[in-house]
């Protein structure tokens, strides 16, 4: 390997690392606020890419059906629980949030599926269709057991991932897709060609991380979310509703997943089940950050991207083995550095 190849591999790694950064930040964000390790995160990323590809090919994306089914289930569950609490007066509100709002973008996609819309509009529609999925899953799957232990929530998450990948195959079919590039430009940096797509990915990762930083630092909602993550009891005593905070965290996570899905669509061939590995690799980054620190998570995810890129060059079949094996020394290091509160779940 010479310096030229090393430079190319590094740049390549940074580009995929930037995608992992977005996903890993989403993981940490959702975990901090809700204590849920949202394993199906990667699936949402993959579904975004598949949706974008369907729109590009003027097909009706499977996501539309998925959103419709989830919205119907969530609405029924919400109405049922309102009925049991004797607060049926809130049904119209439930219909608006759980049925009508999620179905608007899905309806638009359904109506325009046959026509090829401009790229920007396609991307916007894709994001809008994807956004309601994680909050709906939260309502259906997690809300009934919101007080469960982290471990139980994790088991549920893993089961949910399998349900999602099964649904993915059902709604999208087994074919892999790759969309057209958004930019057709190659820069030469220090004698190494850098694709415009890579620059776009890196730029987006930085831009959205910064946006998130602004959100948490300067808006009351952001501060309330931060407060919930720091101290749930304290937040409740301020009147911050945990379920509302959860929904917002899932929405933000959904946004990050959707953006990463859009960015990865032209770079990798995405299958219905590609999300799991993408998610888990980001996860390695999140664990490097100890599931709490955003900056360390970002650096960790970058490292994972670079490592993967070198591993793929050195031994393609074993690249995944190498990436997941890195977790072991990371965990060993973490087990000595992470000060974790005694997890006293006395059942």
Per CB under 8 A, residues contacting other proteins are 37, 141, 144-145, 149-152, 154-156, 158-163, 165-167, 169-170, 220, 223-224, 226-227, 230-231, 233-241, 277, 280, 283-284, 287, 317-318, 320-321, 324-325, 327-329, 331-332, 334-336, 338, 340, 342-347
Give 128 or 148: the residue with its C-beta nearer to other proteins.
148
Contact criterion met (CB below 8 Å) for 70 and 136: yes
Q: 6 vs 145, which CB is nearer to other proteins?
A: 145
Instruction: With beta carbons less than 8 A apart as the criterion, state whether 117 and 55 touch.
Output: yes
Residue 207 CA to residue 122 CA, distance in Å, equals 21
- Nearest residue (CB) to other proteins, 86 versus 191: 86
In the complex, the smallest distance separating the C-beta of residue 317 from other proteins, rounded to whole angstroms, is: 4
Burial class (CB in 10 A: 0-12, 13-18, 19+), 343: exposed
Least separation in angstroms between residue 208's CB and other proteins is: 22
State the nearest-atom distance from the C-beta of 229 to other proteins, in Å: 9
Query: Which positions ≥6 away from 278 have C-beta within 8 Å?
Result: 19, 20, 23, 42, 45, 46, 264
Please identify, using beta-carbon distances, which residue of 105 and 168 lies nearer to other proteins.
Answer: 168
What residues pair up with 195 in beta bridges, in sequence order?
A: 186
Cβ of residue 36: shortest distance to other proteins, in angstroms?
Answer: 10
Nearest Cα to Cα of residue 280 among 319, 324, 314: 324
Return the number of the residue (178 or 223) whose C-beta is nearest other proteins.
Answer: 223
Q: How far is the CB of 312 from other proteins (least distance, A)?
A: 13
Q: Which is nearer to other proteins, 156 or 264 (CB)?
A: 156
**Is 2 exposed, middle or buried (CB count within 10 Å of its CB: 0-12, 13-18, 19+)?**
exposed
User: 229: which 2 tokens?
Assistant: 């993550």
User: CA distances (Å), 155 to each of 24, 47, 238, 242, in order?
Assistant: 19, 22, 31, 21
Nearer to other proteins, 115 or 335 (CB): 335
Beta carbon of residue 240, minimum distance to other proteins (angstroms, whole number): 6
Instruction: Kindly give the residue spans of alpha helices, DSSP state H, lying in 183-293.
Output: 196-218, 220-230, 232-237, 242-264, 274-288
Least Cβ distance, residue 183 to other proteins (angstroms): 33
């Amino acid at each position: 390997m010479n310096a030229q190849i090393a430079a190319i591999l590094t740049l390549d790694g940074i580009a995929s690392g930037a995608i992992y950064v977005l996903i890993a930040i989403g993981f940490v964000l959702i975990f901090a606020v809700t204590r849920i390790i949202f394993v199906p995160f990667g699936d949402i990323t993959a579904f975004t890419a598949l949706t974008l590809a369907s729109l590009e090919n003027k097909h009706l994306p499977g996501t539309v059906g998925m959103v419709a089914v989830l919205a119907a289930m969530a609405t029924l569950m919400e109405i049922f629980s309102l009925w049991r609490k004797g607060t049926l007066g809130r049904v119209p509100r439930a219909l608006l949030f759980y049925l009508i709002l999620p179905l608007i973008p899905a309806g638009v996609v359904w109506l325009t599926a046959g026509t090829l819309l401009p790229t920007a509009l396609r991307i916007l529609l894709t994001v809008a269709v994807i956004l309601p999925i994680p909050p709906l899953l939260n309502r259906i799957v997690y809300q009934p057991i919101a007080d469960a232990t982290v471990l139980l929530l994790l088991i549920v998450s893993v089961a949910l991932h399998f349900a999602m990948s099964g649904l993915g195959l059902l709604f999208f079919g087994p074919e892999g897709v790759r969309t057209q590039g958004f930019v057709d430009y190659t820069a030469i940096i220090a004698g190494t060609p850098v694709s415009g797509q890579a620059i776009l990915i890196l730029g987006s990762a930085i831009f959205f991380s910064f946006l998130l930083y602004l959100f948490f630092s300067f808006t009351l909602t952001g501060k309330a979310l931060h407060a919930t993550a720091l101290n749930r009891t304290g937040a409740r005593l301020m009147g911050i509703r945990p379920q509302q905070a959860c929904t917002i965290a899932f929405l933000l996570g959904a946004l990050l997943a959707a953006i990463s899905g859009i960015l990865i669509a032209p770079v990798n061939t995405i299958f219905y089940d590609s999300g799991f590995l993408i998610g888990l690799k980001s996860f390695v980054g999140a664990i490097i950050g100890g599931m709490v620190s955003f900056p360390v998570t970002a650096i960790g995810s970058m490292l994972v991207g670079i490592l993967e890129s070198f591993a793929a060059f050195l031994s393609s079949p074993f690249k995944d083995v190498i990436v997941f094996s890195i977790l072991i020394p990371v965990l060993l290091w973490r087990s000595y550095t992470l000060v974790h509160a005694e997890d006293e779940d006395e059942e």
